[in-house]
């Protein structure tokens, strides 16, 4: 088991010299090695590397997002009302969309799975966003693969809708305000 206090987080930039990384998922590995720098240059996503003893053991990418509701659809309107009540959004502040940050990618090197690094990353993102109160953000979103549903649910993420049940990923969200509420 690694000491989570010994982890360092570095923002990926154009000059970063890649270290070894393999999470066991070709798509996630390829994003890091082939796309992450381009996303940074084009201001589409920022990737952070989690390092331990000189190795990149995980990474995550963040980008702007929003939680959107189509209230012209009657079932969606009912869900919108339920969503607003569940997240304690007062009537005068209810909107059809809310500011969010999306975790576009999150991967942990295979040999470090099950050691709390994913949870560490989620807590890091929460602290990062709550510490930047000069930029409003209410929710963290993620397009979760079925293999990650349990991980996100254990970390207080909820499915946004039932409409994407048959899709290859499902939109999940975390309400940052839930950390601040007593």
Query: In whole numbers, what is the pLDDT of the chain averaged over residues?
Result: 86
Contact between 108 and 146 (Cβ < 8 Å): no
What is the predicted pLDDT for the residue at 39? 96
Lowest mean pLDDT among 68-72, 147-151, 172-176: 68-72
Higher pLDDT, 80 or 4: 4
Domain that includes residue 101, residue range: 4-180
pTM, 2 dp:
0.86
Task: Count up the domains in the chain and report the number.
Answer: 1
Higher pLDDT, 38 or 97: 38
Contact between 77 and 67 (Cβ < 8 Å): no
Tens digit of each residue's pLDDT (9 = 90 or more) over 106-138 = 999 999 999 999 999 999 999 999 887 677 888
CATH classification of the domain holding 57: 3.40.630.30
What is the predicted pLDDT for the residue at 160? 84
What is the predicted pLDDT for the residue at 77? 52
């Amino acid at each position: 088991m690694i000491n989570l206090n010994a982890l360092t987080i570095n923002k990926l930039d154009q000059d970063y010299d890649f270290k070894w990384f393999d999470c066991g998922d070709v798509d996630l590995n390829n994003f890091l090695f082939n796309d992450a720098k381009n996303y940074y240059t084009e201001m589409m996503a920022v990737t952070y590397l989690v390092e331990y003893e000189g190795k990149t053991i995980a990474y995550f990418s963040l980008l702007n997002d929003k939680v959107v509701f189509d209230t012209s659809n009657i079932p969606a309107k009912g869900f919108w009302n339920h969503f607003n009540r569940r997240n304690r959004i007062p009537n005068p502040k209810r909107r059809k969309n809310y500011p969010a940050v999306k975790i576009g990618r999150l991967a942990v090197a295979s040999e470090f799975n099950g050691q709390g690094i994913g949870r560490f990353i989620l807590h890091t993102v929460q602290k990062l966003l709550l510490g930047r109160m000069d930029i409003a953000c209410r929710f963290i979103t993620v397009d979760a693969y079925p293999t990650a549903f349990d991980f996100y649910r254990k970390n207080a993420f909820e499915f946004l809708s039932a409409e994407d049940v048959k899709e290859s990923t499902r939109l999940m969200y975390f309400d940052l305000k839930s950390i601040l509420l007593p």
